[in-house]
Amino acid sequence: PSVIYLKDYKVPPFLIDKTELTFDLDEATTIVTSRLHMRRNPAFGKSTAPLVLDGGEDVKLIGVAMDDYALPPEEYRISEDKLIITATADEFILTCETLIEPQNNTRLEGLYRSSSMFCTQCEAEGFRHITYYLDRPDVMSVFTTTIIADEARYPVMLSNGNEVERGKTDEGKTVVVWHDPFPKPAYLFALVAGDLAVKNDVFTTQSKRDIKLQIFTESHNIDKVDYAMEALKRSMRWDEETYGREYDLDIFMIVAVDDFNMGAMENKGLNIFNSSCLLASPETTTDDTYLRVEAIVAHEYFHNWSGNRVTCRDWFQLSLKEGFTVFRDQTFSADMHSDTVKRVEDVSFLKTAQFAEDAGPMAHPVRPASFIEISNFYTLTVYEKGAEIVRMIHTLLGAEKFRAGSDLYFDRHDGQAVTCDDFVAAMQDASGVDLTQFKRWYSQAGTPIVTVTDRFDEATGTYRLTMKQDTPATPGQPTKLPLHIPVRVGLLDQQGTVISAEVNGVRAEDHVLHLNASEQEFEFSGLTSKPVPSLLRGFSAPVKLRYDYSSKDLLLLLSSDSDGFNRWSAAQQLAVNELTTLINQAIEGQTLSIDSQLVHGFKALLNDETLDPAMVALILALPSQAYLSELANPIYPAAIKQARQYLKGQLANALETDFERVYRQHKIQGEYQPAAEDIAHRSLKNIALSYWVESGSELAQQELVAQFKTANNMTDQFAALSIVVNTQQKQADVLLNAFYEQWKAEPLVVNKWLMLSASQEQETALETVKGLMEHPAFDLKNPNKVRSVLGGFGQSISGFHKMDGSGYHFLADQIILLNKRNPQIASRLCTPLTRWKKMQPELSIKMKAELERILAEDLSKDVYEVISKSLA
């Protein structure tokens, strides 16, 4: 497959001012007729270049005409899925008739069937699976869409924009016409047809326009959309207040579908959601999922400005819309709940998953320089690291100038397809802050390591921090340049009091230092004793920080730092230090033993009732298996598991009575509410329960089973079930069966059950997962189910990392099976195998052998790119 390079970008030779589409929908075949009002692009220069339209192997051309002249076969050709027309006028109407079979579309790109409905997914290059088109984001067109279908089966027929006409054909089919006045690229096109129920609402904008809001689902799910509707209204208000962005069309629709490759899609005026990211009810949905629904509803809504009104020039610029929009949804969630809790959750995810990506064979810059298949670049780097870049700009500019920069960006580029450089230029022009060096964050892959040393001069009361930065080599980028890194720093005295100091003549408790050289010194004056530094507050940059903190320093920061994020960070570091000792003991085959300092820190937390329970819960959660794997080289999965279990047991035994008390204190009486305060209590109560159970207490065991049986909400019931599954194999089967029997009519709950069942730690884990794939609740066509079972299996050390390699072999078989059927899903399943170079030697060779076995198959572009890069 060919490689596409950013450096080869050229403006399109043709433009499409208007796109008129007609869909004649039918279960067997769908006929799509397009009328494209085209002209040569003056920006391309004088040219006689042929017209080359993108298509797909699943699109059958019935006929093509230019200005109503039907082209004979010798005047066009199809080559490698492209429709090529050699001779064209400067301006013309191209009509194409194509035939597609949505019911056979298992890739879930283009037009496909989910349950009994028709729906679309066109980002990034799905539109070409519907009809021939200039399927690139810098070709923006005004769309009019006519849908023809049998009203009895498809009473709801939707597309972008406003419904402008409705009628009947001579054969009695219904015809609905939609018109979207905002020019858009094809990736934002959407169509839905089905027998759907609707929930209606209205939002009044700041300029007093009433917007009709509609959420559509299959009828059995319509009682689960209230939370999403409220989240949508909160998002609309927040975008007006925080960014001055008002919604533009008169109607905003969301549709839930069960079969969807990702979370949701921001199609203009017609968002399409994976039902797992939209539906919520107290009985079936956990707190985490409530928060995810709110965040994704907000994310897709925010794209209306950061993505739709201003879009990407080419797919290398994907982070222009995704990084900015993730930053916007993160800040929104922080505003709706707790700033610090949200930051800890986001950073924890980034450090676990994005750092691993940035250190692996698929590492790429936030603005990649090349790709084989763009779907492979909807990554944590583009999304999460991209959001960190925007956050750093916010830190460097301050809130007010950042807002001025965003206003300028939207004003300057409304209706355009632009680049990450354009975004930074707007920020720079509005603020006067020089971002020239900062832009390297977009082009340089890898996680920088910032190493800090310090010294204190008692005679002058001066404290000096020396910072060095170093970014490791990544594929295709052997050497790196220094980045502009904002490092937020505060100081504490040895008693834990936050102290102010002077940096460059400014006295404050908190300073943003600009690290922009390979090595740099920063001076703090006006001190009386050597302080403890609180470094990288709020995780002010996506870097790995190295500073030689003693356990005493970390306990001091944990108990006293005024930066809540760094209190969590200190606890994590302390836990990582202790776990690292234990992991090494386990690797050496020694008996595990440690005099844990964490016990003292946790004891103080559990007895401090002034703290936010959600923060305490986060601090009590030991670093995950995945995060410890990211830090390790090589990775010994079983040793990590053993060390975590041991430390958890030690903490549980030492603090048993504290955990029991906290568990009881944070029980909530009354009705379930997905509100921040209640979520916080539940999270602390449930983690306390997990420790209490770990202590072996008989009473804890009884409470656990009682919680499972009597909980009035899914958060508590599922927390109890997870604790049982993670601690006691004997009970696990009984309660897992009971849970399935209780919830088998709720597919989204069943998916959680599939995941938990597949993640079990037992000798027979591989047989369990094979059994789950034969279970009536499983369906290989449904990405959520595949993700649940195989994602869950990836967490099972005894299953996936079986020493004989059979876990890897099984995953490889599934990748091969899905490779042609759904390349996007198959490609994502490859991720755990791509980490082979970091695994302990016995496992590493077995993973590599599976990668080689996959590579020998006839692969989709998606899977080929990931596997071949992993082996390079």
Catalytically annotated residues: 300
Instruction: Report CA torsion sign: 252, 299, 189, 313.
Output: positive
Q: Which of 259, 266, 346, 358 binds ligand HT7 (CB under 6 A)?
A: 266
Q: Which of 314, 322, 716, 746 binds ligand HT7 (CB under 6 A)?
A: 322
Binding at 469: pick from Zn ion, ligand HT7, none (beta carbon under 5-8 Å per type): none
Q: Is 25 exposed, middle or buried (0-12, 13-18, 19+ CB in 10 A)?
A: buried
The whole-angstrom separation of Cα 653 and Cα 856 is 52
Q: What is the secondary structure of 772-816 as a DSSP string?
A: HHHSTT--TT-HHHHHHHHHHHHH-HHHHT-TTSHHHHHHHHHHH
Residue (322 or 563) nearer to Zn ion, CB: 322
Which residues, including other chains, have CB under 8 Å from residue 524's CB and lie 6 or more apart?
462, 463, 464, 465, 491, 501, 502, 503, 511, 531
Give the footprint of Zn ion on this chain (CB under 5 A): 322, 325
The whole-angstrom separation of Cα 2 and Cα 81 is 14
Residue (121 or 469) nearer to ligand HT7, CB: 121
449 phi/psi in degrees, rounded to 5: -105, 125
Q: Which residue is nearest to ligand HT7 (CB)?
A: 262
Q: Which residue has the tokens 């940059």?
A: 541
The whole-angstrom separation of Cα 758 and Cα 770 is 9
Instruction: Single out the residue of 598, 596, 595, 604 nearest to residue 658, CA to CA.
Output: 604
Q: Which of 299, 367, 802, 869 binds ligand HT7 (CB under 6 A)?
A: 299
Using the contact rule CB under 6 A, the part of the chain among 120-128, 556-564, 660-668, 857-865 near ligand HT7 is 120-128
Q: Which residue has the tokens 């099972």?
A: 796
Q: CB-side exposure of 176: number of CA atoms within 13 Å?
A: 19
Residue (36 or 186) nearer to Zn ion, CB: 186
Using the contact rule CB under 6 A, the part of the chain among 46-54, 119-127, 523-531, 679-687 near ligand HT7 is 119-127
What residues pair up with 159 in beta bridges, in sequence order?
Answer: 191
Binding at 439: pick from Zn ion, ligand HT7, none (beta carbon under 5-8 Å per type): none
Residue (376 or 695) nearer to ligand HT7, CB: 376
**How many chain residues interact with ligand HT7 (CB under 6 A)?**
15
Q: Which of 51, 66, 83, 265 binds ligand HT7 (CB under 6 A)?
A: 265
373 phi/psi in degrees, rounded to 5: -130, 115
Q: Which of 123, 259, 346, 850 binds ligand HT7 (CB under 6 A)?
A: 123
Q: Which of 19, 317, 573, 824 binds ligand HT7 (CB under 6 A)?
A: 824
- 114 touches ligand HT7 by CB under 6 A: no
The whole-angstrom separation of Cα 325 and Cα 409 is 14
Residue (318 or 854) nearer to Zn ion, CB: 318
Residue (318 or 652) nearer to ligand HT7, CB: 318
- 9 touches ligand HT7 by CB under 6 A: no
> Whole-angstrom distance between the N-terminal and C-terminal Cα of the chain?
16
Shortest CB 390 distance to ligand HT7, Å: 14
- 121 touches ligand HT7 by CB under 6 A: yes
Provide the 8-state DSSP code for 623: P
- 135 touches ligand HT7 by CB under 6 A: no
The whole-angstrom separation of Cα 332 and Cα 325 is 10
Binding at 235: pick from ligand HT7, Zn ion, none (beta carbon under 5-8 Å per type): none
Shortest CB 419 distance to ligand HT7, Å: 17
Residue (184 or 846) nearer to Zn ion, CB: 184
Q: Which of 124, 362, 417, 689 binds ligand HT7 (CB under 6 A)?
A: 124
Shortest CB 465 distance to ligand HT7, Å: 38
Shortest CB 130 distance to Zn ion, Å: 21
The whole-angstrom separation of Cα 130 and Cα 53 is 12
Binding at 838: pick from Zn ion, ligand HT7, none (beta carbon under 5-8 Å per type): none
Shortest CB 325 distance to Zn ion, Å: 5
Shortest CB 266 distance to Zn ion, Å: 6
Residue (217 or 261) nearer to ligand HT7, CB: 261
Q: What is the secondary structure of 624-646 as a DSSP string?
A: PHHHHHHH-SSB-HHHHHHHHHH
Binding at 694: pick from Zn ion, ligand HT7, none (beta carbon under 5-8 Å per type): none
**Tokens, residue 520:** 């740099």
**Tokens, residue 373:** 């298949």
- 827 touches ligand HT7 by CB under 6 A: no
Helix, strand or coil for residue 218?
A: coil
- 378 touches ligand HT7 by CB under 6 A: yes
Shortest CB 123 distance to Zn ion, Å: 9
Contact 719, 687 (CB under 8 A): no
The whole-angstrom separation of Cα 192 and Cα 212 is 18
Residue (297 or 592) nearer to ligand HT7, CB: 297
Shortest CB 257 distance to Zn ion, Å: 17
Binding at 20: pick from ligand HT7, Zn ion, none (beta carbon under 5-8 Å per type): none
- 865 touches ligand HT7 by CB under 6 A: no
Binding at 262: pick from ligand HT7, Zn ion, none (beta carbon under 5-8 Å per type): ligand HT7
Three-state SS across 77-113?
EEECCEEEECCCCCEEEEEEEEEECHHHCCCCCEEEE
The whole-angstrom separation of Cα 189 and Cα 643 is 50
Shortest CB 188 distance to ligand HT7, Å: 9
The whole-angstrom separation of Cα 705 and Cα 282 is 20
Beta strands in 559-605 (DSSP E): none
- 375 touches ligand HT7 by CB under 6 A: yes
Q: Quick one: how many helices (H) and strands (E) in the chain?
A: 29, 34
The whole-angstrom separation of Cα 83 and Cα 39 is 17
Residue (303 or 787) nearer to ligand HT7, CB: 303
Residue (273 or 836) nearer to ligand HT7, CB: 273
Stretch 244-263: interaction string toward ligand HT7, x if CB under 6 A: -----------------xx-
Binding at 265: pick from Zn ion, ligand HT7, none (beta carbon under 5-8 Å per type): ligand HT7
- 300 touches ligand HT7 by CB under 6 A: yes
Shortest CB 299 distance to Zn ion, Å: 5
Shortest CB 49 distance to ligand HT7, Å: 29
Run of H or E residues at 393: helix 386-397
Residues that bind ligand HT7 (CB under 6 A): 121, 123-124, 261-262, 264-266, 299-300, 303, 322, 375, 378, 824
